[in-house]
Amino acid sequence: MKLICVGLDNSGKTTMLNIIKPKKVNLTEIAPTIGYTIETFSKNNISFTIFDMSGQSKYREMWQDYCKGVDGIIFVIDSAE
């Protein structure tokens, strides 16, 4: 399953993805995403490839390029709420 994760700056996109991944990460060591990162993992017999896109305004135009051909979009409003 190919997904894209988008949302505004500091909404918690990377933190949310690290919570749902099977391998846990120290959440206090997460740095802001520059550009994008690709996360690949399996959970419940489903393989995921997730594009974690930066929320900074200068990178938002890239979102539309990565939305093509994905199976779903995760839009994070605020992961702390």
Which residues have a catalytic role annotated? Answer: 56
Residue 74 scores a pLDDT above 80: yes
Contact between residue 79 and residue 11 where contact means Cβ atoms under 8 Å apart: yes
- Domain assignment present for 42: yes
Which CATH number is 25's domain given? 3.40.50.300
- Domain assignment present for 81: no
Task: Give the per-residue pLDDT at 64.
Answer: 85
Which residues, in sequence order, are bridge partners of residue 2?
A: 49
- Domain assignment present for 15: yes
If you average pLDDT over every residue of the chain, what do you get?
Answer: 87
Residue 61 scores a pLDDT above 70: yes
Quickly tell me which residue has 């206090």 as its tokens.
28
- Structural domain count, the chain: 1
- Domain assignment present for 16: yes
Residue 25 scores a pLDDT above 80: no
Residue 33 scores a pLDDT above 90: no
The domain of 69 spans 2-76
Q: Which amino acid is at 26?
A: N
- Domain assignment present for 59: yes
Task: Give the per-residue pLDDT at 81.
Answer: 60
DSSP labels, 6-48: EESTTSSHHHHHHHHSSS---GGGPPPPSSEEEEEEEETTEEE
